[in-house]
Structure 1
């Protein structure tokens, strides 16, 4: 039987956090729609500082000699890059960082939360807080900027997100081969059950993941561009 102090997928803490993510996203979207221009700027920059204030100390801690391990200490997973992009998008409200945040934050980050690769004690262990806090802030940022502030994805942003993601995947394949790591799970599947288990063995699951991802991102882009075209 799993020890009660360990995180258990779809246990009470997992369900509570999923509800918090959805509820917080709705609240932030509603809040964003009610803010004036000056308030929006202040809220976006304050939110960016919250994202940085949460993640940077944890990153620095993971790089200390007592915590350093090349297999997991570097911020090279897409979810690690996503929080940096979230802070960038919140601070600047630029189209490019928002596009990356929209596609990464609303497809890849939720996937990581539905099938979490987390083997640690439950709350309030630091590993638990880091994993869920990082992912939660990314999704909240994407919801706030998209449905609250009103930033919209388009086909240019779609192409950018695909290109950046493919280049990142190729870089991770090279890095993993050189250092024996598995950042991005591009060199092998994670040990925990995930959607990748439905996509065949390596390297075929990478091609399937790319096709499925591009198709899903296209479907997430089309409604917004359709509205723009009919406006």
Structure 2
């Protein structure tokens, strides 16, 4: 079903469609963690390749001339980058891919799940399922990798993710200025409700948000170091 001409139709927050997606993710997460603990990990490599293929296909689908919009179609959202790191984390098991997947997937991606900015531009059914499949994968994968496969966050993870994040912010903000866009909501808050609304106007919310992330990410790192020290002692 195509949306047709006129402004895009948005999914209502906490509508039955929203609650259904959250419920599926909530049920799937412990199942994947359990499978990660018991299996050899080969299925996670396969899942990574499948996720990578779907992500690339979805990105190319949105770049078609018939639907291309420079203000929304470029793969510059942090979720686009997170899908890449998630795929490579599952395929390689390398901490350089797991680290950003862990921090982004369990913080910024959660906002996309709780307060999604989901506007249907062409095909509501396809766009709905792809949104929740891809965002759900970015949440479930780091949980399975850390709590299922035993990869443990370190302060090197923390520093490395900050370098990637700041590089993405700088690049995306330049593109936003050049194209009058708002990728990553770095140049303005989302049209719907979000956590950014309580952090002040632009650019205040960027500074507040980065400060809050610094604290939260540190809280996601410190307990693992303490656990390692207690076990080695």
* TM > 0.5 fold call: yes
Q: Does 1:108 align with 2:108?
A: yes
Deviation per CA, 1:27-47, whole angstroms, max 9, x where unpaired?
111111112xxx21x112111
Structure 1 segment 62-73 matched on structure 2, within 5 A: 62-73=62-73
Partner-residue secondary structure (3-state), 1:116: coil
Alignment correspondent of 1:16? 20
Q: State the TM-score, normalizing by the size of structure 2.
A: 0.91
Q: How far off its partner does 1:193 sit? A: 0.5
- What is residue 183 of structure 2 aligned with on the other side? 183
Write the mapping of 1:35-184 to structure 2, written as runs, cut at 5 A: 35=39, 39-40=40-41, 42-120=42-120, 125-184=125-184
- Greater shift after overlay, 186-195 or 54-63? 54-63
Please state how far the C-alpha of 1:6 moved relative to its aligned partner: 6.3
Cα separation, 2, equivalents of 1:124 and 1:153 = 38
Measure the CA separation in 2 of the matches of 1:186 and 1:47: 31
Superposition CA RMSD, Å? 1.6
Contact kept, 8 Å, 2:10 with 2:118, in 1: the verdict is: no
Summarize deviations over 1:139-167 as a string: whole Å, max 9, x none: 12112111111111110000111121112
Q: Which runs of 5+ in 2 are unaligned?
A: 1-8
Structure 1 length-normalised TM: 0.92
> 1:28 matched to which residue of 2?
32
Q: Is the 8 A contact 2:76 2:184 kept in 1?
A: yes
Q: How many residues align?
A: 222
Instruction: Name the stretch that deviates more: 209-218 or 131-140.
Output: 131-140
Between the aligned partners of 2:174 and 2:12, the Cα distance in structure 1 is: 33
Residue deviations 1:1-50 (CA, integer Å, cap 9, x gap): xxxx9632111121111121122111111111112xxx21x112111022
